[in-house]
Each structure stands twice: as C-alpha cells, then as structure tokens.
C-alpha cells in the first residue's frame, strides 16, 4: 500500500459528499504559477483517483468471482452509479484547470503523453455522457449475469460452460459432438437476450459518440482509446494481410488435422482433440497446483519473473478455478493504490489453462514493473503493448514445461504444438472480430438479423475448412461468445498487433533469454509514458503490423510447427 499524502486514511469511499469535497478542494486550490506546486497538485489528484479505482477494481473482482452474490453486485453498482459520475465530472473540470495552467509546459518533458491524452479527453467530454456511461456499465453487468448463469446438465451433473469446453479434448468423437451441441443449445437459449443486450449497448454507444461530436462511434473509440499511431484503414489492411498470410496456414493445419483423424472434413468438435486420438493432456489436478507449476516455469526463465509470480501466490492474488456463478473468461486487473495485480480465470484441468495463466501472469508482471510510475494515467497501459507483455510469456513459457510434464517429451511437444497452432488460429479470429465491429458500427441502423448476416459473410471470408452443415444457426451467432464485443468494443485488434510484438520478443529470447526479458521488463516499466512505437522500441521490437513484418513471423511459426 502506498503512503497517502492527500486522501485521509479513514476515507469512506461510499461517502459521495466527502468525495465531492476532496475533488472541489483540488479544483479550488490556488497553485499560482509555480511548477512544483502544479506537480504536487497532479500527484494529489492521481492519489485520489488511485484510491477510488482501487476500490472499483476490488468490487469488480468480487462481483465477477460470484455473479450470484447480490451484496457484491450492489456494492459494485453503487460505485458505478454514485461515485463514477463524480469522478468523470470532476476529472473534466480538473483537466481544464491543468491545460490552462501557465506552468504546464514546464512539466511537459515528464507528462507530455498524458497531456496529449488529457486534451483528447477534454475534446470528447460531454456532461450528457456521464449518465450514459453509468447506464453502459449497468448493461454490461446485466450481460455478465446472463453469461455467468449459463450451465449445462450433462451426464447427470451441472457443468459450467468452461467445464463443458474441456470435453472438446475427449477422444470419443460422439461424446465431443454431444457436449458441443449441448453447449450451443444452451447458448442459443439466450440468443435473444444477448441480442437485446447488444442492441442496448450499441444504442448507448452511438449516443455517446454523438454527444462527443464525433462522426460516428469508430471515430470516437479511436480517440477514446488514444490510438494516435494507427487508423481504421490500417486495421482493414491488417485484415487483408491476415487473409493472405495467416489464413492459408490455418487451412493447411486443418487439412493435415483432418488427414490424421481420417476425416474428409473437420466438424467444430474436432478442432481441440488430439488428432492422433491420444488422451487429453492432464497437466495438473487443482488450481493451487497449476499456480505452483507455472511459478516454477517463471523461476526457471528469469529471477524477477519468479519473484513476482511467487508474490502473487503468497498474497492470494489469483482465483484460478471455474465454478457455477463465476463470470466467464479470464482477466488481470490492477489494484491502483496498493500497486498490486489480481488474476481471474476459469481453469478446467486442460493444457490450455497453463497458457492462460502464463498470459495473465505476463499482465501481472507488467503491473509490478510499472508500479513506480508516479501518476495513475501512466499506470493505464495501451492494450497494444499490454498484450505483448502477456503473449510473450505464453511463448517463453513453452521453453520449460517440465514442471507439468517432467521428461515426457511427447506431452511437451503436444503442448507446444497446441500453443503455436493457437498463434496461427488467433490471427484470422482477430480479423473476424475486428472487421465485424467495423462493419456493425459503419451500419448504425442494423438489426439482430443483419448482424447474423454480416457475421455469416465474415465466417465465409475467413473460412478455414470447418464443416458447419446443419449447424447454420450456431455459425450465424458464434460472435455472441466473444465477450469483448459486449464489454469493451473495439478491443480486439490489439491482440493481433501484440502477437506480432510477442513473436519478436520470443525470437529475441531464443538468442539471449536474459536480455530479451530484461528489455521487455524495462519497456513495461515505462507504463504509458511513451508512445507505442517507443514502447516497442524499448523492448527491442518493432511497432509494425503490415504484411512486411507479418510474413516472416508467420514463416517462423510454421517452421517451428513443422519441426514438431
């Protein structure tokens, strides 16, 4: 816990009157023309924001760990409805005070990136959006309740969707098909509810963009996400590069898989099972064991990574297990005042869980590395680089899987092949999700039926040869399983950009492991105090996602898969 200088130790974060008083004291403070006083004022503002966002993060964790806990849900809702609007309102006023201060330029060297973001926030701010953002958060919470409540009665037991996904690795093809159909029958029961949820969120987001005087939501979100270094046109070019360079490799992988399995065509329940029909890898028995063995991997690749991983374990900063009522997916979130990370995931005793924890641990190392950044804004990292931190750890983790598989080289090879296959699979999926969003937000009057039609066209464009005949209803609605579309619009292209960065870190690691991770952690320590190209450069990699950079990296991955 960092020492407080401005916020009282006994501060009640639910006392909106006290919160308002602290913000007003900042707004009314006389800081003259003294740069040192201005810097202290900035630090105090950041401290207040850190205290409040720390509480918000902890309440979000409590709510997602148990979506059926009404008390936790109410605590989070109360914060969103009562505190967040005050923060938004006063942050805008304080932004204006900052940007008009005569000594601002004296601090430009330290805060130039933040000042640039503040100006964008001022340009986008509308008081009419404060209640809309509250409404958006409530609708996201309602969506999470729908998905968190999904379960399947299967073979006499109640299973979460994450637990059902583990059946996709079973050797019995009929069992896999039965489980896959059960999952999607359950998902389609909530098709209309999810469509309505998306419609509500889409409508809110259109209004937010309009209130911010933006041409459309795409224009708004690129500014809101501070995407200063690339454009929607660059994204569309990336989609085309993926179609030309990554999709053919995925098609070839699926073709080889079908041949190994003795099938004319793969069905959707044939994609995760071992193609030689070997039993699913069972790398661990409990969430605690998963954490311990991943920590051993980190200890073997870099001493600082090992220390941070063990600290997470010792302080119970990971919730690994899937259970009924727990929200789906996985994430890492920072507790801003304590400068600590927290990892949320839904493990199901699969090999993929290893990589999920490696991934989220990469995010947590980023949080540790940037903990000394002085202001809250610099501890909020652009996703394009944040995902480099996480994806790099997945690839680096493949260099020592002995904690899970000992000297069983066949299992190790299977695990690595699965990870590298996922790298190639990811690119077409990223292109699918990102292009889907561009299509939707360029068609502001679309209906639920239009959405399914658009998704169908995109599935055709990135078709890798999987047979969905007789499963058209599922194929047309597969986009609904991607939570990012609901919770964080346009957060997906970052995975593709970051994967290119992570592949470069991996290449550096093969040449000099210590230096590659040292460079990565050094870049991570910068937080968001530098523009994206400089963050990438600090990690000794290039910020470039054109075909020129993608093509050789795809070849490297393909060569590694071929060796295996």
pLDDT band at 348; cut points 50, 70, 90: confident
Residue 367 has what pLDDT? 98
Residue 442 neighbours by CB distance under 10 Å: 12
Average pLDDT over residues 310-316: 97
* pLDDT cut 70: percent of the chain above it: 100
Q: Judge contact between 370 and 336, C-beta under 8 A.
A: no
Count CB neighbours of 171 within 10 A: 13
Nearest to residue 371, comparing CAs of 311, 329, 313? 311
β-strand pairing of 318-321 with 340-347 = parallel
User: If we measure between CA atoms, which residue out of 211, 226, 141, 298 comes closest to residue 491?
Assistant: 226
Q: What is the pLDDT of residues 7-44, one digit of tens each?
A: 999 999 999 999 999 999 999 999 988 899 999 999 99
Residue 109 burial (CB count, 10 A): 7
Q: What is the pLDDT of residues 195-217, one digit of tens each?
A: 999 999 999 999 999 999 999 99
pLDDT at 1 over 80: no
Entry pTM = 0.89
pLDDT at site 564: 83
Q: Can you read off the two tokens belonging to residue 352? A: 């993929």
Nearest to 307 by CA among 388, 352, 369, 386: 369
Residue located via tokens 């699913």: 280
Instruction: Give pLDDT, residue 379.
Output: 96
| pLDDT (average), residues 492-497 | 95
281-299 pLDDT, tens digit per residue, is 999 999 999 999 999 999 9
Q: How far apart are CA 452 and CA 450, in angstroms?
A: 5
SS3 content of the chain, % helix, strand, coil (to 5): 70, 5, 25
Would the pLDDT of 246 be above 70?
yes
- 20-to-110, 259, 561 alpha-carbon distances in Å: 28, 66, 58
Residue 220 sits at the vertex; the CA angle it makes with 215 and 221, to the nearest 5 degrees, is: 145
Lowest pLDDT segment from 47-51, 164-168, 235-239, 441-445: 164-168
481-489: average pLDDT:
94
What confidence tens digit (pLDDT) does each residue in 132-156 have?
999 999 999 999 989 988 999 999 9
Q: Residue 162: is its pLDDT beyond 90?
A: no
Q: What is the pLDDT of residue 328?
A: 83
pLDDT (0 to 100) of residue 131: 94
Is residue 333 very low, low, confident or very high in pLDDT (cuts 50, 70, 90)? Answer: very high
**In which band, very low, low, confident or very high, does the pLDDT at 3 lie, cut at 50, 70 and 90?**
confident
What confidence tens digit (pLDDT) does each residue in 57-113 have?
999 999 999 999 999 999 999 999 999 999 999 999 999 999 999 999 999 999 999
Cβ burial of 482 (10 Å; 0-12, 13-18, 19+) is: middle
């Amino acid at each position: 816990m960092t020492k407080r200088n401005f916020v009282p130790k006994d501060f009640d974060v639910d006392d909106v009157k006290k919160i308002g008083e602290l913000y007003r004291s900042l707004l009314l403070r006389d800081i003259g023309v003294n740069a040192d006083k201005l810097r202290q004022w900035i630090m105090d503002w950041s401290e207040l924001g850190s205290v409040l966002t720390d509480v918000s993060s902890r309440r979000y964790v409590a709510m997602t760990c148990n979506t059926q806990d009404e008390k936790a849900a109410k605590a989070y809702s109360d914060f969103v409805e009562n505190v967040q609007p005050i923060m938004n309102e006063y942050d805008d006023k304080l932004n204006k005070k900052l940007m008009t201060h005569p000594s601002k330029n004296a601090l430009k060297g330290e805060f130039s990136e933040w000042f640039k973001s503040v100006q964008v926030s001022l340009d986008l701010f509308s008081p009419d959006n404060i209640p809309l953002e509250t409404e958006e958060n409530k609708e996201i919470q309602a969506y999470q309740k729908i998905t968190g409540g999904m379960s399947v009665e299967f073979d006499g037991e109640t299973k979460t969707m994450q637990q059902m996904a583990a059946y996709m690795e079973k050797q019995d093809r009929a069992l896999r098909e039965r489980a896959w159909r059960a999952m999607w029958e359950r998902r389609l029961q909530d098709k209309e509810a999810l469509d309505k949820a998306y419609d509500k969120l889409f409508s809110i987001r259109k209004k937010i963009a309009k209130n911010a005087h933006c041409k459309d939501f795409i224009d708004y979100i690129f500014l809101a996400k501070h995407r200063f270094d690339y454009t929607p046109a660059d994204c569309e070019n990336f989609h085309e590069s993926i179609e030309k360079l990554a999709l053919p490799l995925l098609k070839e992988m699926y073709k080889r898989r079908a041949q190994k399995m003795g099938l004319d065509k793969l069905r959707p329940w044939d994609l995760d099972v071992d193609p030689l029909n070997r039993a699913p890898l069972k790398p661990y028995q409990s969430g605690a064991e998963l954490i311990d063995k991943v920590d051993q991997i980190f200890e073997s690749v870099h001493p600082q990574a090992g220390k941070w991983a063990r600290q997470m374990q010792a302080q119970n900063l990971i919730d690994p297990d899937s259970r009924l009522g727990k929200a789906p997916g996985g994430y890492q979130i920072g507790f801003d005042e304590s400068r600590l990370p927290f990892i949320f995931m839904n493990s199901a005793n699969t090999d993929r869980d290893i990589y999920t924890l490696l991934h989220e641990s990469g995010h947590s190392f980023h949080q540790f590395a940037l903990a000394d950044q002085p202001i809250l804004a610099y501890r909020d990292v652009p996703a394009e680089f944040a995902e480099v931190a996480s994806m790099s750890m997945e690839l680096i983790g493949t260099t020592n899987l002995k904690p899970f598989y000992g000297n069983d080289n066949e299992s190790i090879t299977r695990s690595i092949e699965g990870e590298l296959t996922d790298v190639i699979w990811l690119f077409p999926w990223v292109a699918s999700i990102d292009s889907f969003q561009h299509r939707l937000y360029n068609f502001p009057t679309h209906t639920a039926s239009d959405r399914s039609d658009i998704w169908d066209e995109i599935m055709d464009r990135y078709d890798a040869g999987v047979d969905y005949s007789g499963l058209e209803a599922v194929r047309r609605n597969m986009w609904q399983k991607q939570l990012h579309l609901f919770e964080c619009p346009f957060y997906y292209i970052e995975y593709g950009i970051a994967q290119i960065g992570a592949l470069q870190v991996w290449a550096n690691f093969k040449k000099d492991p210590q230096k590659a991770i040292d460079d990565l952690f050094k870049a991570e320590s910068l937080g968001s105090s530098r523009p994206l190209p400089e963050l990438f450069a600090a990690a000794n990699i290039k910020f470039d996602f054109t075909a020129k950079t993608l093509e050789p990296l795809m070849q490297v991955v393909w060569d590694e898969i071929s060796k295996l």
